[in-house]
Amino acid sequence: MRILFASHSSALAGAEQSLIHLVGEAAERGHTGTVVLPEFGPLSIRLEEAAPTFKVVILPNRLWMGRRYSPLVGMVRLVQALTDIPRYASHVRSGGYDVVVVNTSVTPVPLLSAHIARVPVLQIVRESLQTNPMLRSALPKRLIKHFLFKWSTSAVCISQFVAKQYSYPCTVIYPQVSRDFLVSRDDRARAVGHPPRAIMCGTISPEKGQIDAVRAINFARSLGTRIRLDVYGDGNPKDVRDLESVIQELGLTDLIKLKGSTADMRAAYDSTDVAVVCSRNEGFGKVTAEAILTGRPVVAYGAGGTSEILEYGGGLSTPSSPNDLGAALHAVFTQPSLLERLRNEAHGSSLRGMLASSAQRVITCAEELRYA
């Protein structure tokens, strides 16, 4: 079967890393095809390594939702996206594809192009369409959801939280994580005798809430618990500068370190005691799942897809405020029985079995469209 996988980005954030697993699974099953990206980037290199039978093609693929999409900017971007469609549709039509898998809902280009070319489409909805303030558009969200449903043959939502916001029939499949995280290692004694240490992972942005995490560490310090926080991830320069300014303003440069990106996230988790998550609208919460799979308890805002993951155990949810989060971190590190209970829950979580088969289930959904 020939499959076209479409991505809105060439970076290596959570959606793009999940795409690597999907393309790799398709290649392992003997499928061939293309991955269409808007530009060359880190993702194209990783795809060539993971699935050499799939060719990377660069085609413009502009968005209809984005962080800075005011009504005027959003309308300009929408018009630009529409101008991308003829070339994209021509590629879909001439490529002999059996199925198109669209890895995001923030662009209409691959979805509408496949619809025009009359090729079955599996739409993967990863975004919290209704509640995420970072997703702005010139179009009403209800209209975007309608088009996603109308133009696709079937849809996969990455959590129940996302499915409720999509509000059309879909299959819920949690996104797969790296195989490194699926290998269980019982190292629960790490925290004994060590200074408290926390980790936070993800793109540095207001949506991910790194500044809230900094304020939480400061509040925990005011309660008498000095917690070291390592922040992993990149971001645009302004967001990084804003984060650094708050760290300096609160006098926390000795406790909070910005580590940038790393190729070995498993080792980063293994060097810490708990993970901190401050997202309010996470569609799934890949970093939450990764922490739990490594046996690291998660202290998080009880919001979005994060809450859904914490229902499987291994975490402590709080109201969405830095002081509440800081108080919870203080409790975890001053109540050994609480930390031990959360650690045991993380090691025993049923998430591992569910996530191990995620890519297989998505590709099966794509295969079924060929005969629909």
Kindly provide the b/e burial profile for residues 333-371, where b requires at least 16 CB atoms within 10 angstroms of the residue's own CB: beeeeebeebbebbbebebbeebeebbbebbebbbebee
DSSP 326: H
Instruction: State whether the Cα torsion 207-213-214-215 is positive or negative.
Output: positive
CATH code: domain 2-176+357-369 is: 3.40.50.2000
From CA 213, how far away is CA 179, in angstroms rounded? 28
Which of 284, 329, 327 lies closest to 308 in space, CA to CA? 284
Going residue by residue through the chain (372 aa), what tens digit of pLDDT does each one get?
999 999 999 988 888 989 999 999 999 999 999 999 999 999 998 998 888 999 999 999 999 998 888 888 889 999 999 999 999 999 999 999 999 999 999 999 999 999 999 999 999 999 999 888 888 999 999 999 999 999 999 999 999 999 999 999 999 999 988 877 877 665 544 545 578 999 999 889 998 999 999 999 999 999 999 999 999 999 899 999 999 999 999 999 999 999 998 888 888 998 899 999 999 888 998 899 999 999 999 999 999 999 999 999 999 999 999 999 999 999 999 999 999 999 999 988 888 888 888 999 999 999 999 866
Torsion of CA 5, 12, 165, 23, to 10 degrees: 30
2 contacts 365 by C-beta, under 8 angstroms: no
From CA 290, how far away is CA 296, in angstroms rounded? 9
Cβ-Cβ contacts under 8 Å for 69 (sequence gap 6 or more): 63, 77, 136, 137, 138
From CA 290, how far away is CA 182, in angstroms rounded? 9
222 contacts 252 by C-beta, under 8 angstroms: no
Instruction: State whether the Cα torsion 168-173-174-179 is positive or negative.
Output: negative
Q: Do domains 2-176+357-369 and 180-354 have the same CATH topology?
A: yes
3-class SS at 41? coil
What DSSP assignment string belongs to 332-360?
A: HHH-HHHHHHHHHHHHT-THHHHHHTHHH
96 contacts 118 by C-beta, under 8 angstroms: no
For the chain, first and last CA: distance in Å?
A: 14
DSSP 3-state percent helix, strand, coil across the chain (nearest 5): 45, 15, 35
The structural domains of the chain, with segments of one domain joined by +, span: 2-176+357-369, 180-354
Residue with tokens 């560490």: 217
State how beta strands 154-157 and 121-125 pair: parallel
105 contacts 66 by C-beta, under 8 angstroms: no
181 contacts 293 by C-beta, under 8 angstroms: yes
Q: Count other C-beta atoms under 10 Å from residue 231's C-beta.
A: 24
Q: What is the pTM of this model?
A: 0.89
Query: Is CATH 3.30.300.30 the classification given to domain 180-354?
Result: no
Residue with tokens 């398709």: 26
